[in-house]
Amino acid sequence: MSWSQRKLGELCEITSSKRIFYSEYVESGVPFYRSKEIIESSQGMEISEPLFISEEKYEEIKNKFGVPTAGDMLLTSVGTIGVPYIVKDSDRFYFKDGNLTWFRKYSTDVIPEYIYFWVRSTEGQGVLNNTTIGSSQKALTISSLKKIEIAVPPVNSQKAIVKMLSVYDNLIENNQKQIKLLEEAVQRLYKEWFVDLHFPGYEDAVIVDGVPEGWAVCKLGNIVAINSENISKNYPYSHIEYVDLGSVRLGHINEITSYTLANAPGRAKRIAQDGDTIWGMVRPNLRSYALVMHPSIRNVYSTGFAVISPKKVPFTYLYCLVTQDSFIGYLINCTNGAAYPAVKPEHFEKAIVLKPNDQVLGRFHEIAEPIFRKIENLDKNIASLAEARDRLLPKLMSGEIEV
């Protein structure tokens, strides 16, 4: 198989997203993505803080600048470097900021997905990181990206490589869709029982001071423990698996980093058990929370998290409770500091919450726990698929494995 060295600038047009200064948002319409939302999309995550523009504004932008079309690739190029996103047929959006590089109008010598997988390869990430400028905030320039040379096989070989790698991505995407459906199902059940108060037997329930008889309104600290376990001086392991604040978003732990204990970050202190919820205390609007399920004995979490351990309620109820929009709004209102808005463990402890009776909690847990355990298994499957894909990727992109 004959490979050639080609500059990216020869293979496609490379331009930047045009920064649009606009503040007249609408409740629904065409998504107006920021670069961080491209990252969320690339990881199969639901957009945390979507913005929308009107159809009329979208058409105006489309006529003036053009808009992303299927096969175009977007690349994060300021701050967070090298996260690619291939635009799908169903995508319809524009960019809010100029922190994305836009690859489009490809030559006949390359298919977009091949460049996408090259960017995701170890080689591609290394080249991009070595091409950045700036010290306080790294950035990729269009001129430097155009000069990068990559090894390009014939188009038929590119298609074969992409097909093999896409099998893994498609399976991962299917698992992510299942997880989303399961998460929505359990949240709907929580809302029906504990927000709308349509729990089993609600027709005959006696309401006292706005809550069913036998239920209680109390402080969260009365039914949970906060940060109850930390690494001690006698911690027995020399290596840890560390979960940092930036690796957790919207209910998922996206990355775990291995360290020797001696070289671990100073914030690597918290311990969590199965059924605990970790909640990022910095910028709670980012929703950096996740349910911990069967953690490794070497898992350690940042002190940037509040580790919430259920004591008088099932973990299923607790997790749903502290991930509701109303609870997140409470945390946001408790933040101190403009540049570094954060909450403290006592803000969690003082939160006023509803504690249903044990019978209703038990019935909810019987339904919800199998759902959360299935999500756990799907997450593990995703991790295994990603690991297998990432082992195969460099071998295919280097020609070590012929197709």
The CA-based angle 129-132-134, given to 5 degrees, is: 130
In the numeric block, which tokens belong to residue 188? 């709907």
Q: pLDDT by residue (tens digit) across 334-393?
A: 998 777 899 999 999 999 999 999 999 999 999 999 999 999 999 999 999 999 999 999
In the numeric block, which tokens belong to residue 2? 């004959």
For residue 266, is pLDDT > 70?
Answer: yes
CB 118 within 8 A of CB 397: yes
Q: pLDDT by residue (tens digit) across 199-217?
A: 999 999 999 988 999 999 9
Pick from 316, 328, 276, 333: which is nearest to 299 by CA? Answer: 276
Beta strand 216-219 with 305-310: parallel, antiparallel or unpaired?
unpaired
Question: From CA 54, how far away is CA 109, in angstroms rounded?
Answer: 38
Question: What is the pLDDT, as a whole number, of residue 66?
Answer: 83
Query: How many C-beta atoms surround the C-beta of residue 61 within 10 A?
Result: 19
Handedness of CA 292, 350, 305, 283 (dihedral sign): positive
- Rounded percentage of the chain residues whose pLDDT exceeds 70: 94
Question: What is the pLDDT, as a whole number, of residue 46?
Answer: 64
For residue 97, is pLDDT > 80?
Answer: no
Instruction: Identify which has the larger pLDDT, 48 or 280.
Output: 280
Helix (H) or strand (E) holding 205: none
Question: What is the pLDDT, as a whole number, of residue 186?
Answer: 98
Q: What is the pTM of this model?
A: 0.84
Q: With bands split at pLDDT 50, 70 and 90, how would you rate the model's confidence at 154?
A: very high
What are the C-alpha distances in Å from 166 to residues 104, 161, 385, 395? 20, 9, 11, 15
> How many residues appear in the chain?
403
Range ranked top by mean pLDDT from 24-33, 281-290, 304-313? 304-313
Domains with residue ranges and CATH for the chain? 4-150 (3.90.220.20), 216-355 (3.90.220.20)
In the numeric block, which tokens belong to residue 278? 């970790």
For residue 34, is pLDDT > 80?
Answer: no
Question: What is the pLDDT, as a whole number, of residue 1?
Answer: 58
What are the C-alpha distances in Å from 85 to residues 123, 163, 213, 304, 344? 18, 17, 52, 29, 36
DSSP 222-264: GTEEES--B--TT---SEEEEE-GGGEETBEE---EEEEGGGS
For residue 316, is pLDDT > 70?
Answer: yes
Instruction: Identify which has the larger pLDDT, 274 or 47.
Output: 274
Tell me what the pLDDT averaged over the chain comes to.
91
Stretch among 61-70, 229-238, 269-278 having the lowest mean pLDDT: 61-70
Question: What is the pLDDT, as a whole number, of residue 5?
Answer: 93
Place of tokens 């909450």: 343
